[in-house]
Structure 1
C-alpha cells in the first residue's frame, strides 16, 4: 500500500506542472482536489510520503477549496490517471543514477547542491526533523549554539523556514549568521554527521549522513529574499558595511519581485496559472507600471481588464501585506524554476 501511494504522490508531482485546457486550477489545487476525492485513509498514506512544506501547502489548499464541481473532480481524476499510467519505477533508489542524471541535466555546478540536499535529506533524521518544527522552536533550540553551527542548520532548511528562524534572532546575530552562510563552502561529512547525531539525541532514531554541500552565497540570498522587507534592507546595509564585496555578491544573487520583468512571456504565463487573482491583485499594488503591463499582456484581454479595474478600485493595503503577497508569488516562481518550467532572470543564467 505504501509503495502504491508513494507512486501516486510521484504522479501528483508530475502532473503538477502540466497545463490543461480542461482544468484552469493550479497544480496545488488539483492535488488538493485529488486528495479529498481519495478519502481520509488513502490521502493520509500519500501525505506521509511528502515533506513538511508540501504537507503544509497542500493542506492549506484543501482547507481553501469551496464549490468543487463534478466536472472539475472528473477532470482532475482523468488527468491523474493519465499521468499515473505513464509512471515507472525504473532508476528509482539508485544514488549513482540520481547523481549522474542530475549532473547531466544541470551541469556539475548547478547539480551539486540539489544532489546533496536530496540525498542528505533522505538519510538524515535529526536535521530533517527540524523541518517539521515551528521556526520559534528551532530558534530556541539553536540560539545558544556557535554562529557557525546556526549557519549550517539554517543552510539545511528551506529558505522561507530559515528566514522565519533568522527573524527570531537579535540584529547582531542575524548579520553574523547570514554572512557565515554566504561564505560557507561545504562541511566535512563527519562533522555534519556529528551535528545530525547531536540533534537526533534530542529526538530519536539514527542517522547516516553522506553529503555535505550546504551554504554559499545562493543559499544566503534565498534566505534574505524571504525576510521581511525592512529586516532584509537593514541586514544588507550591515553586511555591506562589514564586507562590501560579499554584499554586492548577495545582491547579485537575490531575486526580487521587480525581477519578474526579466522572465519571458511563456514563464509569466506559467506563473500566472499557479497564482490566485487575490494574490496577484495585492502583489501588484507595489509593482511599477512596466511590470504591471508585462503581467497584463500575458493574460486574456478580459482578465486583464478586470484586474485593472480591481486595482483602480482597491482600497489602500498595508505595505507588509503587499510584500508578503509578493514573496508568496516569488516562492511559486522559484518552485517552477526548480522544476525547469520557467527561467528566472536574476543572477545570470542560474536557475534559482
Structure 2
C-alpha cells in the first residue's frame, strides 16, 4: 500500500467520527488525495485492518469481520468535515477521477497536437503517455514521432510493466498543466511486448520495418520477442482465401502437415482450399498417418509457416492489412 492508501484504510477502520476529526486537521490537498483512496477502498478486510491498526481489530464488528468504506463512508465523512457545497464538489471530482483512466485528457487531442506536445519530453515519459492512449491513436502517434526516437520509445513501452499510481498521477498532473494551452491506483498495468505488437500491427508496413530494424540493433532479444508476437499461426484464419495458394506453394510439405496436425478443423479447411483436390487428399492422409506429435514440434512447424507468411508480406506478394478493427486481407 502507498502512504495515502494506508491512511485511507486507517480512517475506514476507526470509523466516521474519528475519521472526521482527523481530516478536519489536515490540509485540503491531503484530504482530497486520501478521500480518493477511501473512494476506491469500498471494503476493508479484517486482515488489512489488523495490519493497519492491530489494537482496534476486535472493535471492527460485523459477522464478516470487516467494515464498509467506499462512497457511502466517504460522503458521510466529507459532509461532516467540509461545508456542504465543498463536500459535494469534492465528491463529484473524486468520482470522476476514480473512473477515468490516466491521461484521458490527451485522447481528445489531434495527433499533430500530441506530437508537438511530447516531442521535447524524455522518451520514458513519451512511452508512458503512448501506453495509456487508445491503440489506434497510440499507433498514429508512434508513427509520427521523429525516426531517431521511435525505436527507443517502442523499446521502453515493451519493457514497461507496472508503474506506481503515485508516479502516474504526478506525471499526469504536470502534463495536464502543460497541455492546458493546447487543448480547450492499485498498480496501473501498461506497456509490455503485447502493447508494442498492437501498435506496430496498426502502423504501416514501412514504418513497422524501420522500427523493428532499429529495435533489432538496440535490443536483439526484445526485437525477436516482439517479432514472434507480430503475427501468429492462428492469425492465418483472417487472411484472404486468394492468398492461401501462395502460402501453400512456399511451405515445405512436411512442415505444413505437422503444423496442421495441431490445428483446428477450420484452419485445415482454410489450407485445403488453397490446394488442388489431389493435394488436399494427400495432405489429409499425411496428417492422419502421422500419429501423435510433440507439442513443441507442432509449434515449431507452425512458426515456419508463419515465417513464410511474413516473407511473402515483405515481398509484397500478400497484404496483411493493419488498423483499428480491420481484418487481414
TM-score w.r.t. structure 1 length? 0.41
Question: What is the TM-score normalised by the length of structure 2?
Answer: 0.44
Higher relative contact order (CA 8 A, sep 6+): 1
